[in-house]
Amino acid sequence: MASIGQIIFWSMIVLIFVMAGIIILLLAIAFSVSQGSVVTNTPFPVGNLGKDVMLGCKFQTKTGQISSSVSITWQKDGLTGVVYQYQNNGVHLQDQNPQFKNRVTLFPDVITTGNASLLLRTVRMEDEGVYRCSVTASGVTGSASIRLRVGAFSAPNITRSENNSLAANAPRWLPKPDVTWLDLNGSQLNSSTQFSTLTMGIVQVTSNLQVQVTDGIYTCIIQNALVTALSTATVTGNGVSTTTDFTFNSSPNIMKSHVISTSFILFCMLVR
């Protein structure tokens, strides 16, 4: 049997630990606030093979002031060395992984505004992966991670074909996309799409609408797991004018859920 004295003793010990825990938590919160922040607005950018891509990263100090001695290090998960390193107002590339030689740069003029974004030139397939932007300066310590995915995408050229229909031609897509045509009311129109494979699995997309068109607005959507190109084609007596907007499918989970639903359907078919 524990005596009253023992119960009080252990209660005090427990109380001390609980109080200590709360104090540590409060200190941690205060400390993290005083450390400023490092963030990205674009955690899932998509690179277009052979083109340049921006990996966004910005930082803010607690006071809002940015001293000149900022240290910025970009690294890529699973790779030795650094992608890029900037320290004491200078570039330090002794440790740079050869994959990035002469292909990356920061924007030195805007570092003091909190811009630590990295420009990666002539994107390659092996550039895919998780990048980490780490910033250390007075009033800020932290890092942000950016997952770069790589594919190929291009706006289609939409023309009126001889049989008074429409044909869309997009020179480069990877992975192979789906093509959908819609009328002004958003109803799907019949079409037939062909792919011809160029280098590295990149396909050229040719899609023919299977209905006659009249003056008006038609929509052609070319879409894969990474990118959606929405083209609005305005057909007039004189021809076709087209505008295309690209949106990047922001989360890699979109692809995952697609895979899951497909395998679920397969499973159901097997069970039957």
Ligand X SMILES: *[C@@H]1O[C@H](CO)[C@@H](O)[C@H](O)[C@H]1NC(C)=O
The residues in 83-102 that bind ligand X, with binding defined as CB under 6 A, are none
| Cβ closest to ligand X, residue 81 vs residue 171 | 171
Smallest Cα–Cα separation from 157: which of 165, 166, 148, 149?
166
Does 240 sit near ligand X (CB under 6 A)? no
Cα gap 160→210, rounded to integer Å: 12
Nearest approach, Cβ of residue 215 and ligand X (Å): 11
* Beta-carbon-side half-sphere exposure of residue 232 (alpha carbons within 13 Å): 8
| 110 in contact with ligand X (CB under 6 A) | yes
Burial class (CB in 10 A: 0-12, 13-18, 19+), 180: middle
Question: Using the rule CB under 6 A, which residue among 190, 196, 199, 238 binds ligand X?
Answer: 190
Residue 138 makes contact with ligand X by CB under 6 A:
no
SS percent in the chain: helix, strand, coil, step 5:
25, 45, 35
Quick one: 192 or 253, whose CB is closer to ligand X? 192
Distance of closest approach, residue 78 Cβ to ligand X, in angstroms: 25
Q: How far apart are CA 233 and CA 215, in angstroms?
A: 10
DSSP H helices, the chain, are 4-34, 253-271
Residues 116-135 that bind ligand X (CB under 6 A): 117
Nearer residue to ligand X within complex by CB, 192 or 257 = 192
Can residue 211 be called a binding residue for ligand X (CB under 6 A)?
yes
Number of residues that bind ligand X (CB under 6 A): 21
Minimal distance in Å, beta carbon 58 to ligand X?
A: 4
Sign of dihedral through CA atoms 175, 147, 60, 29?
Answer: positive
Residues that bind ligand X (CB under 6 A): 56, 58, 107, 110, 115, 117, 157, 159, 161, 163, 165, 183-185, 187, 190, 192, 208, 210-212
